[in-house]
Homo-oligomer: A and B are copies of this chain.
Amino acid sequence: MKFAIEKSILLENLNNVIRGISTKNVIPVLNGIKFELTDKGLTLLASDSELSVETFIESKLITNISQTGTLIINSKYILEIIRKMPSDIINFESDGNLKVKIFSDFNEYNLNCLDPNDYPNIKLISQKDPVIIKADLLKMVINQTSFAISNQELRPILTGINFKITGDIFECVATDSYRLSKKNVKLDDPVLNDINIVIAGRNIIELEKILVDDEIVTMNVFNNRVLFEYKNIKFQTTILAGSYPNTTNLIPTDFEIFVKLNRNDFADAVDRAALLTQGKEKNIIKMKIENKKMIINSYASEIGKTEETLAVDTDENSNIDISFSARYMLEALKTIKDDDILILLNNDVKPIIIKPLSDESLVELILPIKTY
């Protein structure tokens, strides 16, 4: 293998591909990135066997291809090496003896490579009629829900994010069973066959980081895996086995108390109240609504207590005294971009619902915590 390529092009592609490398991976060859150079271009592939990311750099974007071939270059230093190279053009040269020389005029790295024969045969093949989603829409959906996934392996299905597409309605849900985030968006093109899959949350977060430009993403759903294609990138992840809990019934439809308030004011007050409960697992704060006022307070026996007062827009008779996790509330509020929000309540044991005031597509749910 022998070629030369612009540093910026290689770096951009490596930055995306390296998301397929897992620190938990135990198969040595999968610590490497596969460089496959043909006359058509350079394919880069990284995989941890559950997640595979591939990018393709067309030959016209490669400065010079002298000799094709395949190399597995250890991923550990490659990004930093390329980032620090002092030249705009970087040369790669390998005579096939499991070594590669990466060099410019005045510096060279000679790296040991992994054996391409050990690399699993990973094919990322797309379908005929994939789902089509705008990248910014998909990015927003993942962004507004993925934080709510569970990190407990006790119920593996909750470590995933639920993608449900019925006709042209794309619904995305994540929950750790203490809170839930749900987002609906409308697709331009309805799907032919309805979709209901659960994708590993830690993988979908990597996809979200890749989606930076306003382009189209196609989603190819197979039996046990899903392949996203975006620009020159293929992103494939396994689908989690098992069925996602039906979350529709968890979200109340009738409410006794409606509170309208400014998102930033509320978030700042919660943040301040949470200060003294830092370091505690749940960092519980109390919220009291009375006489059109919201009083938020927290108490930490050794340190002291704090109280915040907010004027809120609600019914005169709306009274409630409810406790919840400040962290969960702040994370839910972060997903909302609107200035005004609506908090919907029934009593101190029923779920707390937070919504943008004028946007029905996003629902944030937090279970209250009993403190007595």
Contact = CB atoms under 8 A, between A and B. Distances in A.
A275 interface: yes
Contacts of A86: 268, 272
A110 interface: yes
Nearest to A108: B307
Given A81-B275, A276-B77, A304 B109 contact: yes
B303 A74 contact: yes
Contact of A110 (B76, B305, B308, B309): B305
A84 B304 contact: no
Given A107-B269, A309-B106, A310-B106, A80 B275 contact: yes
Interface in A114-131: none
Copies in the complex: 2
Interface in A49-97: 74, 76-77, 80-81, 84-86
B77 A112 contact: no
B112 A275 contact: no
A162 to B, nearest CB: 36
Contacts of A106: 308-310
A272 B107 contact: yes
A300 to B, nearest CB: 9
Nearest to A100: B304
Interface in A245-288: 268-269, 271-272, 275-276, 278
A109 B84 CA distance: 49
Interface string A137-168: 00000000000000000000000000000000
5 closest Cβ pairs, A-B complex = A111-B304, A107-B308, A109-B306, A106-B309, A110-B304
Contact of A107 (B110, B111, B307): B307
A84 B303 contact: no
Given A84-B275, A275-B80, A111 B268 contact: no
A302 interface: yes
A348 B111 CA distance: 28
Given A86-B268, A268-B86, A269-B107, A77 B305 contact: no
Contacts of A111: 303-304
A99 interface: yes
A111 B303 CA distance: 6
Contacts of A107: 269, 272, 306-309
B306 A272 contact: no
Given A76-B303, A304-B99, A109 B276 contact: yes
Nearest to A309: B106
A81 B273 CA distance: 10
Contacts of A80: 275
